Every structure is written in structure tokens, then in C-alpha cells.
Amino acid sequence: MRHDHLITSKQLSRADIETVLDRAAEIDDDPSAVADRHANRLLGLLFFEPSTRTKMSFETAMKRLGGDVVDMGSVESSSVKKGETLADTVRVIEGYTDALVLRHPKQGAATMASEFVDVPLLNAGDGAGHHPTQTLLDLYTIRENAGLDDLTIGIMGDLKYGRTVHSLAYALTNFDARQHFISPESLQLPREVVYDLHQADGGAGIREHDSLEEVLPSLDVLYVTRIQRERFPDEQEYQKVAGEYQIDMETLEAASDDLTIMHPLPRVDEIAPAIDETECAAYFEQAHNGVPVRMALLDLLLREGGDDDE
């Protein structure tokens, strides 16, 4: 991997992805081997939106590499509340750290912020834009459960505002993957994303549907997403689609015995709790994988940016 920043999965080649996933597998097998790899390194966390898994897994990853974190804290308790610009905030915190992780509600914020810093900056979600580190842990989970070539995947739910979906879809064009996108018409993939995906693979592996039933039996992986209330500009529009796409035990009757069900979490009512006890459920494994994958990513970026011994 030779990138100063990770802003979008579109910048990752198949080789880049496999480098991160292979390193993550090594770390997963023997975390102690990298326990002091980045002692005295600091990771800056700048989260302008709420986060549980992403924020805590980055913090865990950095500490398990021997480093530590400094956290901007809530927007309400920071200088942002006084009117400080994002550009100024990242330039200040860059001076304290060796790398930055940014989550922001505005699409494109990570791209803009990266122009003002020299340390590696990782996009942890920018509005309805991209979430490339989530994509890497998603790909790791898919590879562990179903493989990444000759793959048929269904991606269902909020495809319009779902940044995890956009990032994953772009990354999967590096592999032999057939992608089925399932959503209500009002939450279909943005047309510019569809155009990009067709350009990337000639459109051969891209299909859109409004119903799961017609494609479920053929799927190796079903990636379910939450209908994101916070992204809707109109509450009435949210209520029209809330709860429309749900998975329960009855749904699984038509699925392959080897189906893997994933979800970036948090879930609301998209997946019935009874599914948790089945062999299909991989979403808690998926959340766990955030630590070794983010350890691998930080290890690669920090070692390239510093003078650690190989």
C-alpha cells in the first residue's frame, strides 16, 4: 500500500486490499507479535458524529499496537463549538499525533481535511459518502466466510444514504463478484454510484431489485443495512420506508444453507434476534474483525510513514 491517506475505497486496488487483509489475518492469528510495534505513536480521533464500533475499534487497535490515542471529544466540548473550522482543527491536532481518524456528517469532509495535513488521515465516514475502513473489515469477513471470487452478494436496505454500501460496492469491483442491490425505489443507489460501478466492470455484475425473494436463493452473502433515520431530510419520507425490509427465520427458508448474513450495525429491526443463533449470522464476527483489520491498516500506514524496522 502506498497511500498517504485513506479517503475512499475507490483508491484501493485488489493488491492494496489483499495486502491489508493478509496482514489482518497474520495479526488475528498472533496479536502479540505486534504488541509493541508502534510504542510512543499517537492516533488522533476526531469524531463529529456519534460512533461506537468504529471509534472503539480504532482505539483498541492503536493500543494493541503499543501506541495510544488522543480524542477530540464531543463537538459540544471542543473548539468547534466556538466556530473553529475543520481545516484549523485537523491542522492543530496533526501537531499532536502520528495519524488522524476523522468522522464527519458532511460528504467530502475527509477529502478536504486531507489537503491540510501531512500525517496519514483515515476517513471513518463522511455523511452519505464513504467508509473505507468499514469496507476493509467487511471484505475480511466475506473472505473468511465465502471467499471474494465467484461471489454472489445481495446488499439490502438504505442504499441511497448508506456510506458502507457505497464503499463496499466500489471495492467489490476488484473481484469476481455479482452484486444485487435490493431497496425501495426511494432508497436506490445514487445514479452516479451506479454509473461508476458499470464503468468499473462493464455492468456485468450489477443488478437492482425492489424485492429480496427473487435473488435470495442464489446469494452467498446478504449484507443488510439499517434505514438511517438521521440521514432523511423529511421525517415523513423516513416513515414511508421504515421497517420495510426485514430478515427473520421465515425469510431463511428460501436461502442457501451456506448463506452468510452481515450488517455494519447498529441494527434496529432489520434482522430478527432469532437469526443471531443461526450459523448464517456473521455480524458480530464482522464487528470483532474491525480490530485486526484496523490494526493491520494502521501498522501499514505508520510503518510506511516512519522509520520502524521491517
* Beta carbons of 158 and 183 less than 8 angstroms apart: yes
Q: Which of 37, 131, 166, 226 is catalytic?
A: 131
Contacts 24+ apart (CB under 8 A), 274-283: 274/248, 274/249, 275/247, 275/248, 275/249, 278/249, 278/252, 280/252, 280/255, 282/141, 282/145
Return all residues near 248 (Cβ < 8 A) that are at least 6 apart: 272, 274, 275
* Beta carbons of 11 and 3 less than 8 angstroms apart: yes
Q: Which of 8, 54, 133, 141 is catalytic?
A: 54
Residue with cell 470483532: 288
Active site residue 240: no
Active site residue 263: no
Active site residue 53: yes
* Beta carbons of 47 and 72 less than 8 angstroms apart: yes
Q: Which of 3, 10, 19, 53 is catalytic?
A: 53
Q: Which of 5, 41, 103, 226 is catalytic?
A: 103
Residues in the chain: 310
Active site residue 85: no
Active site residue 106: no
Query: Can the peptide bond before residue 266 be classed as cis, meaning omega within 30 degrees of 0?
Result: yes
Residues taking part in catalysis: 53-54, 82, 103, 131
